[in-house]
């Protein structure tokens, strides 16, 4: 079944569509993550890094990076026949943060992608979603050659609430990225259910 069409004799299924943001610091792998799982050709707004932007773009740890997202990445993945996620990758640099409010409108939740070699680069994204009460999970992108840290150590370093999921992934590998996206949906649904519960006196 694909988008309202079904096998003969079965009622058509209209999928629920959900919007998920993919955020994090410069060069952490957001564009790669969206491209790894998208079932359509991802929309990318990447431009070459320029000499003018070099003082602003901290390439420490990602010296081989030559392009940057200047608006957003966009992709789509069908998790089940009745559940479709639209993925919006945010730009990582401070000067593009004015786009975040537009991208965050109507989002179910977010992935904050983290690189443990430059963990401080995702502080701003964590703060953004906490301030706006947007559910998020932290996806630790396990780069080749980087040290592996337990989820609890990452949670403590980022000063996250105990209930915020921290999940390990490889932004290049579809299956691990899918697990992170499922984690966002489950976390957002659990938070929503708790918020709907009547207060007890």
What count of residues does the chain have? 201
Give me the helices (H) in the chain, please.
30-37, 100-104, 123-131, 151-157, 174-196
The answer to whether residue 5 sits within a structural domain is no
Domain membership of residue 2 (yes or no) is: no
Q: Exposed, middle or buried, 146 (CB in 10 Å: 0-12/13-18/19+)?
A: middle
- Mean pLDDT score of the chain: 83
The answer to whether residue 1 is domain-embedded is no
Cβ atoms 185, 110 nearer than 8 A: no
Percent of the chain exceeding pLDDT 90 equals 58
Residue 29 lies in a domain: yes
Position 135 pLDDT exceeds 50: yes
Tens digits of per-residue pLDDT, 144-154? Answer: 877 889 999 99
In a domain, 157, yes or no: yes
- The more confident residue out of 107 and 143 is 107
The per-residue pLDDT for 45 is 57
pLDDT tens across 55-70, in order?
Answer: 555 555 555 445 554 4
pTM (2 d.p.): 0.79
Residue 3 lies in a domain: no
Check whether 94 has a pLDDT greater than 90: no
Is residue 128 very low, low, confident or very high in pLDDT (cuts 50, 70, 90)?
A: very high
Asked if residue 201 belongs to a domain, the reply is no
Q: What is the dihedral of CA 126, 127, 131, 132, to 10 degrees?
A: -40
Residues of the domain holding 158 = 16-196
**pLDDT for res 71:** 54
Distance CA 71, CA 46 (A): 8
Look at residue 4 and tell me whether its pLDDT is greater than 90. no
Q: Is residue 45 part of a domain?
A: yes
Q: What is the pLDDT of residue 50?
A: 47
Higher pLDDT among residues 112 and 97, named by residue: 112
CATH code for the domain in which residue 161 is found: 3.40.50.300
Averaged over 88-107, what is the pLDDT?
A: 81
- Name the domain count of the chain: 1
pLDDT for 2: 46
DSSP β-bridge partners for residue 43 = 74
């Amino acid at each position: 079944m694909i988008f309202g069409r079904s096998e003969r004799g079965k009622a058509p299924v209209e999928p629920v569509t959900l919007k998920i943001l993919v955020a994090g610091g410069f060069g952490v792998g957001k564009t790669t993550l969206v491209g790894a799982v998208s079932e359509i050709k991802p929309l990318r707004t990447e431009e070459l890094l320029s000499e003018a932007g070099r003082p602003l773009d901290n390439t420490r740890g990602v010296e081989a990076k030559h392009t940057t997202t200047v608006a957003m990445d966009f992709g789509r993945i069908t998790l089940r026949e009745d559940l479709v996620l639209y993925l919006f990758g945010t730009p990582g640099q401070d000067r593009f943060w004015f786009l975040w409010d537009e991208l965050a409108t109507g989002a179910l939740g977010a992935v904050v992608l983290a690189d443990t070699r430059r963990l401080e680069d995702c502080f701003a994204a964590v703060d953004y979603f906490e301030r706006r009460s947007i559910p998020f999970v932290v996806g630790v992108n396990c780069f080749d050659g980087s040290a592996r840290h337990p989820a609890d150590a990452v949670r403590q370093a980022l000063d996250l609430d105990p209930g915020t999921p921290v999940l390990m992934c490889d932004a290049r590998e579809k299956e691990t990225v899918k697990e992170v996206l499922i984690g966002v949906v489950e976390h957002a649904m659990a938070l929503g259910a708790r918020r709907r519960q009547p207060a007890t006196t």
